Chains A and B, each alone.
Chain A
Amino acid sequence: MLQKLLNGLAIGSVYSIFALGYTLVFSILRVINFAHGAVFTVGAYLTWALTGPQVGANGALANSQLPVALPFWLAAVLGALGAGLLGVLIERAAFRPLRRRGSDPLLTLVSSLGVAIALVNVIQYLVGAENYSLGTLGGSVSIAGATIRRTQVAVFIVSMIMVVALTWLMNGSRTGAALRAVSEDAVTAQLLGINVDRLIWVSFFLSGFLGGLAGTLIGMSVGIAGPYFGIAFGLKGLAVIVLGGLGDIPGAVVAGLLIGVAEAFVPGEYSAYKEAVAFVVLFLVLLVRPQGLLGRVQIQKV
């Protein structure tokens, strides 16, 4: 029982931190950034690249030794920062031009999808599709009779630190207040003298940073399983942010943990259906509480 709960929380914390980046952008722009899964992947690969590894047998850089060899923690921070910058670049390339024209918000689904396809294939083009390992933190610890892997504890702790930091940023800083203002009502925020473009920029940076860090954390726990390894999280992340209430930051955290736990409690003989749990939950939640778990009913303005 406790074992399942811990397993669920460990994977759930990953869903949460992944979904945070998604939901942050949604809260500001009301669009889904499909490139988030790719940013997550890039974050993991950047960290890996900065630890000075040997590239595998495929891709344009096959068999070369990468020049920069930093300690893991520094590489992880720089990797996340790099992913943050990538987030900003994506905003400039795929979101801003469309926003300026006042295009259909749906179009950003496709423009960000294009970025995702390109990024994943750039990785593959450069370093091939092989598995790479990231960091070494083996073994497990026992908590009240339940066993849990050390990396999972580390992932859980870092995720929760990130959640707390983000919550503080949103609720305790000027930037956070401005972000919340924009997410409530962008037009009014602009009238109040808030530089909306700058805040969008900030939210993409934060989103990319969190996504990249999540990629590194997962990579540390399970290795980097090729350029597509963030995509699976992308889909599940959608379920998480809806369950949490689109754009709702605490909601996303709770929802991520809940879906993780729900999956962990699927009985062994039905483990084949585990993959569908998140989506059955998503479907049911949408029908019963479309505003999400913690959300309040939004009144549609006409």
Chain B
Amino acid sequence: MRHTARRTAAVAATALFLVGCAGEEKKTGDTGGGGASGDPIKIGVAVAKTSNVALLGQEQVIGAEIAEKFFNDKGGVNGRKIDVIIQDTAGDENGAINAFNALIRSEVVGIVGPTLSQQAFAADPVAEAAKVPVLGPSNTAAGIPQIGKYIARVSSPVSVVAPAAVKQALKDNPDIKKVAVAFAQNDAFASSETKTFQQAVQTEKLELVTVQTFQTTDTDFTSQATAINAKAPDLVIVSGLASDGGNLVKQLRELGYKGALIGGNGLNTTNVFPVCGKHCDGILIAQAYNPGYDNPVNKEFVTAYEAQQKKKPPQFSAQAFAGVQVFVEALAAMDTKEKLSGMKLPDLRDKLNAQIIAGQYTTPLGPISFDPEGEVKQAEFWVARIKMGADGKAGEFTIVP
């Protein structure tokens, strides 16, 4: 027994030692949170740069990086630079928690992240406990802002836009009677979005002929496509992500489907173009962001993005940009009232959180504000139609008036 106790203690001590070492690397605590007036203000971004959700996360990274440069060129927070620190959450809950903790140790004033709603349910409470404001850039599940006082999001749950897309399809073709629905069953967003769509179908008194499910990791959709075609619907509504949703559309079309198509918000990315190619043409997309939206900040954002990436920005980039923007503008508004450099970090974070909720922001997503819980109130949504070029490679989202 004595050996055991000693050995067990040794293992425990090793664990503590390892962690202790890591802890010493950076001074922790909250000394002079506002920092000297010359130091940049740190804003954290925690998104998935690796793992199988990296496709979404890397779009967010680009948006956040463009925001950093954009606002620094404009003078930062009343002349003080911002420093956007990006941490990788990977695709799981533990990774999101670790990224949040790393950012909190880096003494950021607030965090934009994480990528997935499921990650948010695990990581947001960590920020809430540390009293660090969080803006979810792409968490659309119900219940996110209710996690706590410090949690808000810029990503709107798309319950508004789904019915609009269905209405638009009916406007294009009033003879639509039968509707088929397909959704990615392992994706939190798609499975909640599909409910909104199915409700809209009922409200419009259309017949729901089949509901098909798939996984975001699926590549072969012939059985779903065949099942859908067998019911001869006039409209198919797809809720999924770019590669799975795009493939379903492509395989559906190749197997002879001629009717109308609506894609959910997950398909609102130029990433679907390489997947469905010329078959993307004509899909109606429910959008929380449209690159063609006419306001000055969006124009500048689109120009900056195009200069770097040579294509139109996707929604995830715009939302990450908006997240950083909300922090910058809220900080500037605070700084005008009371100099940030005089504030301790916990105090600053607390006031920043209140300021975020109180403010109004004109972002590339259009004007947004927040309700007291932190739920975003987005003024405008769009229904866009995908228009593919003659070569079936390049395409664009044109707003349907």
Contacts and interface: CB of A to CB of B under 8 A. Distances in A.
Contact of A149 (B52, B222, B393): B222
A226 B254 contact: no
A97 to B, nearest CB: 28
Nearest to A10: B222
Interface stretch (A79-87, A122-130, A294-302): A122-130
B58 interface: yes
A124 B255 contact: no
B274 A132 contact: yes
Nearest to A133: B274
Contacts of A228: 51-52, 217
Contacts of A128: 54, 58
Given A57-B309, A131-B271, A272-B213, A140 B55 contact: no
Nearest to A139: B254
B339 interface: no
A112 interface: no
Interface string A33-60: 0000000000000000000000001100
B277 to A, nearest CB: 6
Interface stretch (A162-170, A217-225, A243-251, A281-289): A217-225
A268 interface: yes
B243 interface: yes
B400 to A, nearest CB: 25
Nearest to B276: A223
B222 A131 contact: no
B271 A140 contact: no
Contacts of A231: 52
A130 B243 CA distance: 9
A180 interface: no
Nearest to B317: A57
A14 B274 CA distance: 22
Contacts of B229: 147
A190 interface: no
A11 interface: yes
Report, as a range, how many residues of chain A touch the other chain.
35 or more
A7 interface: yes
Contacts, number: 124
Contacts of B217: 228-229, 232
A218 B212 contact: no
B275 A152 contact: no
Interface in A256-289: 263-264, 266, 268, 271-272, 274-275
Contacts of B274: 130-133, 223
Contacts of B215: 275
A223 B246 contact: yes
B220 A226 contact: no
A220 B21 CA distance: 50
A102 interface: no
B247 interface: yes
Contacts of B223: 4, 7-8, 263-264, 266, 271, 274
Given A131-B55, A228-B52, A149 B254 contact: yes
A136 interface: yes
B302 to A, nearest CB: 14
B224 interface: yes
B8 interface: no
Q: Find the residue from B52, B218, B309 having the highest chain A CB count within 10 A.
A: B52
Contacts of B392: 136
A14 B311 CA distance: 34
B226 A131 contact: no
B210 interface: yes
A291 interface: no
A254 B333 CA distance: 68
Contacts of A222: 219-220, 247, 250-251, 275
A111 interface: no
Contact of A223 (B54, B210, B247): B247
B327 interface: no
A152 B54 CA distance: 29
A152 B222 contact: yes
A276 to B, nearest CB: 11
Interface string B252-286: 00111000000000000001101101110000000
A149 B251 contact: yes
A228 B224 CA distance: 22
Contacts of A58: 58, 61-62
Question: Closest 6 CB pairs between A and B?
Answer: A225-B243, A129-B54, A133-B274, A228-B52, A222-B219, A129-B55
Interface of A: 3-4, 7-8, 10-11, 14, 57-58, 63, 121, 124, 128-133, 136, 138-140, 147-152, 218, 221-223, 225-226, 228-229, 231-232, 263-264, 266, 268, 271-272, 274-275
Interface of B: 50-52, 54-55, 58-59, 61-62, 185, 210, 212-215, 217-220, 222-224, 226-227, 229, 242-244, 246-247, 250-251, 254-256, 271-272, 274-275, 277-279, 308-311, 392-393
12 contacts: A4-B223, A10-B222, A58-B58, A58-B61, A63-B309, A130-B274, A138-B277, A222-B275, A225-B243, A231-B52, A232-B219, A263-B223
